[in-house]
Amino acid sequence: MNAPSTSLQSVCDRAFADISEARKSFTPRLIPHEVGTITSVATGIANVSGLPGAGFEEVLRFPGDVYGIAFNVDPDEIGVVLLGDYWQLHAGDEVQRRGHVMDVPVGDELIGRVVNPLGRPLDGNGPVNTSGRLPIERPAAPIMDRAPVTVPLQTGLTVIDALIPIGLGQRELILGDRQTGKTAIAVDTILNQRGKNLLCVYCAIGQRASAVAKTVANLREKGAMDYTIVVVAEGNDPPGLTYIAPYAATSIAEHFMEAGRDVLIVYDDLTQHARAYRELSLLLRRPPGREAFPGDIFFIHSRLLERATHLSDERGGGSLTALPIIETEAQDIAAYIPTNLISITDGQIYLSPSLFELGVLPAVDVGKSVSRVGGKAQRAAYRAVAGDLKLAYAQFEELETFARFGARLDEGTRKNIEHGRRIRACLKQPEFAPVSVPAQIAVLLALTTGLFDPVPLDRMPEAEHAVQEAAANTPAEVGARFDTAAKLNDEDRKTILEIARKALAPFQPKPEAKKKS
Amino acid sequence: MKISKEARRFARELFTLSLTNGRLDAGKVSDLADQLVAERPRGYAQILREYTRLARLELERRHAIVDSAVPLDEAHVSSLRSDLASKFGDDLTIEFRTNPALIGGLRIQVGSDVWDGTVSNRLHLLSQQL
């Protein structure tokens, strides 16, 4: 009984000591400030009169600790985007200028936390005590401070690492219809960064709270929260909060990039962001354009994604890799927002619902996916196999349609199709199961040299797994050359193939069966 | 209600005409308003509404509100009047209000500018520091 009362006493003493310390250091000063008056409040926006000195994007404070951003600054009236519970606001309420633009807390204390775009915690783990703050809208790095994309970012997904490689500092769009596994690719990429000294920021924009909770639970369960920050604007948050979410998340990530670290940021998804901005723009009576989006819809995304880059060594050499996600409707990748994002980013990963229905997961449509800068960053070992693999897979996709009709095929075509089927089997991968670089290279080398071709299709998952497990025995000096060597030498190639051959031996058909065919 | 650009421009011109040495002239305002109603140019209702709004905003800029927790005595009122008049000019209208929620001190608002020296504001600032 004594112990709890002593500890309670010490807690109280500490709290009162803090309060008296703050009181002593507090010197009241009479600083004039400007106030205005709310003239009208609507869903997510308010109009304010007065405040002649308010600037564009300045933060305004409303009663009840609700904040807003000045969006339309006219001489007589200001259109404000509200960032909190606006239902308690009334016309006639007083509004204060804060004298600065919107900012967000940044720092190491945020790692492992789930916060909203204002930096307030949502995970119930107490306040976030960071020392620094950064404005949410910041200019992108100037050209001279940028370095080319040269270092690969391993997603742990064979199909992406081999065929659509991503480099640090790249912007790679993930797009596809609903329920095609867009988030899964992003989450798998985050999971694969465990122990790789790469920080991740996952920005959920306007998603269902249950979907966000599921993603956070997955990240936590797999131990990815140790190096991840989650910034969440839920579907029921005001549109203003949804709108600022990706900018706030980028500022949080930039802080680490400028400290010389490598950061990965996922925007899930920018379709919701564009919708939130359209909502705000229409409410603020800005003229609507195509699909009722305002005229600057391209600019809001380009200025966001331009902030992702690889900094030069003089600027610390940090990088910010962005994986924006876009949801298409009825596979229409030529719609307004998808085409905007495709032109802004350095490539796209398209997820096809038809592949998804066939059970090919991840459902990456290799033909429609591209990486414009990642190829230069790709490891030499991948580059050695990627060309053949892409060609063989493209041929297979062409021929597969013929084969479906049961047409009689010549020996060469049949072989191509069988080879293609094995490529597809090897590119399939379950969720939350990232594959290491040596395992991927061993499988891909075995695949391109045709080692998998005699393996029956129904035993492919087992065979692939056996090769992956055997790849763990790759000699350390060969493994080290995966990262450094300009080209995979023949000796290394032989070593890897020998390992794969041994692992595949139990899956080969019996010799007499081979003779017959 | 939406106001056309022409009406807005016309109202601004009228407003500029009703100033004498940068201050709103009551005589000029009533003369101009009478003339506008008599002549009834196109969209005169809109012009009049915008003109009234501009005049009201200008009057608010020249209006001071002094809030205190308890009613101020005569000596305080007169010293405040003379101080405000020396700072903002003689034509400033002053309104004194009482609000016990302020606990103590004064809050003076002139147009959009506020000087808040009340105890409640200081407590609020202190709580923000914690």
**Domain map (residue ranges) of chain B:** 5-60, 63-129
Q: Which residues in chain B have Cβ-Cβ distances shorter than 8 Å to A53? A: 112
Residue A86 backbone phi and psi in degrees, to 5: -95, -5
The length of chain B is: 130
Higher per-residue pLDDT: A272 or A382: A272
Q: How confident is the model at residue B60 (pLDDT cuts 50, 70, 90)?
A: confident
Which segments of chain A belong to CATH 2.40.30.20?
A: 35-101
Residue A77 backbone phi and psi in degrees, to 5: -145, 145
Give me the residues paired with residue A82 across strands.
A68
A512 pLDDT above the threshold of 60: no
Do B53 and A34 count as a contact with CB atoms less than 8 A apart? no
Alpha-carbon span A435 to A447, nearest angstrom: 16
Alpha-carbon span A303 to A299, nearest angstrom: 6
Q: How confident is the model at residue A511 (pLDDT cuts 50, 70, 90)?
A: low
Kindly identify which residue of chain B lies nearest to residue A32, measuring between CA atoms: B115
| Residue-wise pLDDT tens digits, A88-125 | 999 999 999 998 999 999 999 999 999 999 999 999 99
Kindly identify which residue of chain B lies nearest to residue A285, measuring between CA atoms: B2
Tell me which residues of chain A, numbers 71 to 110, contact chain B at a CB-CB cutoff of 8 Å.
Answer: 76
Please, what is the average pLDDT of chain A?
Answer: 91
Q: How confident is the model at residue A410 (pLDDT cuts 50, 70, 90)?
A: confident
Task: Mean pLDDT check: name the lowest of A74-78, A265-269, A356-360, A422-426.
Answer: A74-78
Higher per-residue pLDDT: A247 or B32: A247
User: In the prediction, which pLDDT does A400 show?
Assistant: 83
Nearest to A416 by CA among A395, A401, A402, A389: A395
Mean of pLDDT values over A67-74: 93
Do A28 and B112 count as a contact with CB atoms less than 8 A apart? no
Mean of pLDDT values over A349-357: 94
Q: How confident is the model at residue B1 (pLDDT cuts 50, 70, 90)?
A: low
Q: CB distance from B117 to chain A under 8 Å?
A: yes
CATH class of A381-516: mainly alpha
A505 pLDDT above the threshold of 90: no
Mean of pLDDT values over B90-119: 90
Q: Which residues in chain B have Cβ-Cβ distances shorter than 8 Å to A36? A: 112
CATH placement of domain A35-101: 2.40.30.20
Q: How many CB pairs under 8 A join A and B?
A: 40
How much of chain A, in percent, has pLDDT values that exceed 90? 68
User: In the prediction, which pLDDT does A515 show?
Assistant: 41
Residue A372: active-site member: yes
Percent helix, percent strand, percent coil in chain B, to nearest 5: 55, 20, 25
Mean of pLDDT values over A289-307: 96
Q: CB distance from B71 to chain A under 8 Å?
A: no
Higher per-residue pLDDT: B91 or A262: A262
Which segments of chain A belong to CATH 3.40.50.300?
A: 105-378
| Domain covering A105-378 assigned CATH 3.40.50.11540 in the classification | no
Do B114 and A36 count as a contact with CB atoms less than 8 A apart? no
CA distance A25 to chain B (A): 10
Tell which of B8, B57, B112 to mutate to test the A interface (max A CBs under 10 Å): B112
Kindly identify which residue of chain B lies nearest to residue A94, measuring between CA atoms: B112
Q: How confident is the model at residue A444 (pLDDT cuts 50, 70, 90)?
A: very high
| Residue-wise pLDDT tens digits, A225-244 | 999 999 999 999 999 999 99
Between strands A45-50 and A33-42, the pairing is antiparallel
The two structure tokens encoding residue A339: 């085409």
DSSP A269-305: THHHHHHHHHHHHHHTTPPB-GGG-BTTHHHHHHHHH
Do B113 and A52 count as a contact with CB atoms less than 8 A apart? no
Per DSSP, helices labelled H in A336-454 are: 336-344, 353-357, 374-377, 380-404, 411-427, 437-448
Residue with tokens 């005409």: B17
Helices A490-504 and A476-484: crossing angle in degrees, nearest 10, is: 120
User: In the prediction, which pLDDT does A474 show?
Assistant: 83
Between strands A103-106 and A114-115, the pairing is unpaired
A259 pLDDT above the threshold of 70: yes
Give me the residues paired with residue A171 across strands.
A322
Nearest to A203 by CA among A299, A339, A100, A307: A307
Q: Which residues in chain B have Cβ-Cβ distances shorter than 8 Å to A52? A: 112
* Cα-based distances in Å from A488 to A88, A158, A182, A298: 66, 18, 32, 42
Tell which of A18, A30, A31 to mutate to test the B interface (max B CBs under 10 Å): A30
A310 DSSP 8-state letter: B
- CA dihedral A305→A310→A311→A317, nearest 10 degrees, is 140
Answer whether A509's CB lies under 8 Å from A457's CB. Answer: no
Burial group, residue A86, by CB count within 10 angstroms (0-12, 13-18, 19+)? buried
Alpha-carbon span A283 to B73, nearest angstrom: 49
Do A30 and B117 count as a contact with CB atoms less than 8 A apart? yes
A27 pLDDT above the threshold of 60: yes
User: In the prediction, which pLDDT does A1 show?
Assistant: 47
Cβ count near A329 (within 10 Å): 10
Residue with tokens 């926006």: A45
Catalytic choice (A146, A286, A303, A372): A372
Which segments of chain A belong to CATH 1.20.150.20?
A: 381-516
